[in-house]
Amino acid sequence: MTTPQDIIRRDVLAMTSYPVPEATGYVKLDAMENPFELPPTLADQLAERLSGVALNRYPAPRPGALIDKLKRVMHIPAHCDVLLGNGSDEIISMISVACAQPGAQVLAPVPGFVMYEVSARLANLEFVGVPLNADFTLDTGAMLAAIERHRPAVVYLAYPNNPTGNLFDENDIERIIAAANRSLVVIDEAYQPFAGHSWMPRAGDFDNVVVMRTVSKLGLAGVRLGYLAGRPAWLAEFDKVRPPYNVNVLTQATVDFLLDHVDVLDAQASQLRAERLKLSQAVAALPGAEVFPSAGNFLLVRVPDASATFETLLNARVLIKNVSKMHPLLANCVRLTVGLPEENTQLLAALKLALH
């Protein structure tokens, strides 16, 4: 009898699936989601719009009107093209598949977003992780040396970085772009609504740079839409490996509608930036807590015992992310999503129990 062990790749058999914990009944502060719901009036208008969507038809593979609106609202340079994905995860997968020549490598600072490595390995690409400095800044010398040694097909730079939350120095990024003249540099701006800085205005200025974003952190994590902006020559090649109907009709209609109301989402992001500052100051005042600077909608915090802190909060029905085992630089670190004011109050109360 044939079994999965007879057919499935050995490296896949050795993997574990991406962990998503059950969150029912918890204050959910583990996944960097925007905690705000749509205002009721706007939600009603969206429901009316979605009621008219033709669910019996395949979605447009390249919805021109939506892409044009996205370019206009998100200030994407006119000479850049845009590729849509089912979240930025799918775009990372497309890049991996398209660049998976024999022996090709993907390079990124670590700790960083885990899907860079996961997608690379699933496409049979070698992943090269370059450790950050102890303060989570780029080790630019090590990055340049790794680029010279490995000649990677793709270099990922998250701006800001996840899970550390910091923005890498622009001059360091420029040096990496210049050195990676035989690589594609993907600048990942998933948390741009909270950062105050962006490479998007320069997306078409370099031969080897594309900028990737998602609408998830704007408050639309549930609809799953990512987008890649850059010179048409790059995006035309990635489009060849895009599944033909990858962005469904409900997602397209939802994003099209809410781009007309992006001021509401921007206001929510502004509130979260203010809450981030208050939460950062309050957590930093707790005994044994070291809070790192963040340009995202989350905080990286080093505590005396990450596992004990995680369990104490779990018992208090507050769900956070224990990242302490992801990389040695993250020893005893937890990641806290910035929530609603009342959620942050519950988080602080639980942290006081854990760090008394």
Is the model's pLDDT at 218 over the cut of 90?
A: no
Distance CA 169, CA 332 (A): 25
Please name the residues in contact with 286: beta carbons below 8 A apart, sequence gap of 6 or more: 348, 351, 352, 355
Is the model's pLDDT at 146 over the cut of 90?
A: yes
Distance CA 208, CA 151 (A): 13
Per-residue CA distances from 337 to 126, 146, 163, 351 (Å): 31, 32, 11, 13
The pLDDT of residue 195 is 96
Distance CA 113, CA 100 (A): 19
- The arithmetic mean of pLDDT across residues 12-18, rounded, is 88
Query: Could you tell me the pLDDT band of residue 22, with boundaries at 50, 70 and 90?
Result: confident
Quote the percentage of the chain above a pLDDT of 70.
Answer: 100
- Is the overall model pTM greater than 0.85, yes or no? yes
Please name the residues in contact with 80: beta carbons below 8 A apart, sequence gap of 6 or more: 71, 203, 204, 229, 230, 231, 232
Distance CA 27, CA 317 (A): 6
- The arithmetic mean of pLDDT across residues 221-236, rounded, is 96
The pLDDT of residue 48 is 97
Is the model's pLDDT at 225 over the cut of 90?
A: yes
What mean pLDDT value characterizes the chain?
A: 96
Q: How many CB atoms lie within 10 A of CB 94?
A: 24
- The arithmetic mean of pLDDT across residues 221-247, rounded, is 96
- The arithmetic mean of pLDDT across residues 143-159, rounded, is 98
Is the model's pLDDT at 17 over the cut of 90?
A: no
The pLDDT of residue 98 is 98
Give the residue carrying structure tokens 């303060």.
135
Is the model's pLDDT at 122 over the cut of 90?
A: yes
With beta carbons less than 8 A apart as the criterion, state whether 197 and 275 touch: no
The pLDDT of residue 340 is 97
Taken in order of first residue, the domains within the chain and their CATH numbers are 4-40+263-354 (3.90.1150.10), 56-260 (3.40.640.10)
Distance CA 258, CA 25 (A): 29
**pLDDT digit string, tens, across residues 280-325:** 999 999 999 999 999 999 999 999 999 999 999 999 999 999 999 9
Query: H-helix or E-strand containing 106?
Result: strand 105-110
Is the model's pLDDT at 212 over the cut of 90?
A: yes
Q: Is the dihedral of CA 97, 98, 103, 106 positive or negative?
A: negative
Residue 212 phi/psi, 5-degree rounding, is: -115, 135
Distance CA 154, CA 99 (A): 8
Enter the tokens of residue 57: 């038809």
Query: Could you tell me the pLDDT band of residue 127, with boundaries at 50, 70 and 90?
Result: very high
With beta carbons less than 8 A apart as the criterion, state whether 167 and 191 touch: no
Is the model's pLDDT at 210 over the cut of 90?
A: yes
The pLDDT of residue 201 is 96
The pLDDT of residue 20 is 84
The pLDDT of residue 23 is 84
Is the model's pLDDT at 19 over the cut of 90?
A: no
Enter the tokens of residue 65: 């009107």
Enter the tokens of residue 16: 């574990």
Per-residue CA distances from 101 to 119, 314, 335 (Å): 14, 44, 36
Query: Could you tell me the pLDDT band of residue 173, with boundaries at 50, 70 and 90?
Result: very high
**pLDDT digit string, tens, across residues 26-81:** 999 999 999 999 999 999 999 999 999 999 999 999 999 999 999 999 999 999 99
Is the model's pLDDT at 18 over the cut of 90?
A: no
- The arithmetic mean of pLDDT across residues 130-153, rounded, is 98
Is residue 299 helix, strand or coil?
strand
Is the model's pLDDT at 15 over the cut of 90?
A: no
**pLDDT digit string, tens, across residues 71-117:** 999 999 999 999 999 999 999 999 999 999 999 999 999 999 999 99
